[in-house]
Amino acid sequence: MPATSLSVRLLAVTPNALELIYAAFRQCYHAGYVGDMWDGLVAGETPREKQTAFVERILASGHESPVEHVSFTFAIEGVSRTLTHQLVRHRIASYSQQSQRYVDASDFDYVLPPALAKIPAAKARYEAFMAEAAACYRDLQGLLAVGGREGQKSNEDARFVLPGGVETKIVATMNCRSLLHFFELRCCMRAQWEIRALADRMLMLCRQTLPVIFAAAGAKCERLGYCPESERFTCGKYPVRR
C-alpha cells in the first residue's frame, strides 16, 4: 500500500471544437443557417485565425454559453477521496468514480500530503495509521465473511474505516464554460493544495488543446486583474479591491 501521486489523462474532446464554438456563436448573429456552412467550416474554408478572432471578441463581451457545446473528458488517478469529495461538488459536470463496494480496498494506496512528508515524525505517524486502517479493513472483511457477507457485501461495510487519504480514480467530463468556472475557483491559491494541483494539470491540457478558450484561463484574479479575496486571505499576486 504505497503512497501515490496525481495522474491526469485527457481521454476525449468534442471533435472540431473550434469550428463548433465558432458555428454556435455565428448562429447567434447570422441570418443564415450554420447547418449549411458546417461542411465548409470542417473542410477548413474559414481560416482558423478568423474563427479564433471572432470567438475571442464575442467571448470577451461576456457571451459565454456557446462554449458549452464543447466538452473535455479526463481520467484522473492518484488522488484522494478528500479531493474527489470537493471535485464532485462541481455539479455542472459528469463523473464516474471507482466503487468502494465492487473494488476490494484491502491493500489500498494513499495520498501523502507534502506538508506531512516533510516532517519525519508526522509522515511515520500517518503511514502507521494507513497500515492500521488497512489491517482493520481486512479484519472486518474476514469477520463479515464469517457471517455470510463476502465480496461486495463485506466491502460495502468494511469501507467505513477507509481514511480520506485513500487513493481513488475518477473520470470527469466538463464543458468549457464549467471548466472556466472550475479553474477560477480551484486554480486560486485559496483552494486546497491537492485540488489546485489537479486543476493546474487540467488547465495545462485544456490550453494545449483549445488555446482560444483557455489561454487566459486560471484563477479569478487573472480575469479580474485584482484579488476578490480580503486582505486576510489574499495570496498577494494581485492587489485586493478596496
186 catalytically annotated: yes
Secondary structure element (H or E) that encloses residue 175, with its range: strand 167-175
CB nearer to ligand FAD: pick between 149 and 181: 181
Question: And the C-alpha cell for 195?
Answer: 485540488
Quote the CA–CA distance of 162 and 73 in Å, as a whole number: 28
Determine if 90 is a binding residue for ligand FAD (CB under 6 A): yes
Nearer to ligand FAD, 190 or 201 (CB): 190
Minimum CB distance to ligand FAD smaller for 155 or for 178: 178
Q: Which of 36, 39, 44, 91 binds ligand FAD (CB under 6 A)?
A: 91
Instruction: Tell me which stretch binds ligand FAD (CB under 6 A): 86-94, 125-133, 144-152, 218-226.
Output: 86-94
Nearest to 41 by CA among 17, 58, 10, 7: 17
Task: Tell me which of 145, 191, 216, 240 binds ligand FAD, using CB under 6 A.
Answer: 191
Burial code of 49-73, b = ≥16 C-beta within 10 A, e = fewer?
eebbebbeebbeeeeeebbebbbbb
> How far apart, in whole angstroms, are the C-alpha atoms of residue 186 and residue 135?
34
118 belongs to the binding site for ligand FAD (CB under 6 A) = no
Cα 47 from Cα 233, distance rounded (Å): 45
Residue from 1, 42, 171, 185 touching ligand FAD (CB under 6 A): that is 185
- Interface residues for ligand FAD in 29-68 (CB under 6 A)? none
Nearest residue (beta carbon) to ligand FAD: 91
Considering only 190, 207, 216, 238, the residue that binds ligand FAD (CB under 6 A) is: 190
9, 186, 190, 201: the catalytic one is 186
∠ CA 76-173-210, nearest 5°, is 95
Contacts of 235 (CB under 8 A, 6+ apart): 188, 189, 190, 227
Q: Which stretch in 32-40, 62-70, 89-97, 156-164 sits in contact with ligand FAD by CB under 6 A? A: 89-97
- Residue at grid coordinates 455565428: 26
Residues that bind ligand FAD (CB under 6 A): 89-92, 178, 181, 185, 190-191
Task: List, by residue number, the catalytic residues.
Answer: 186
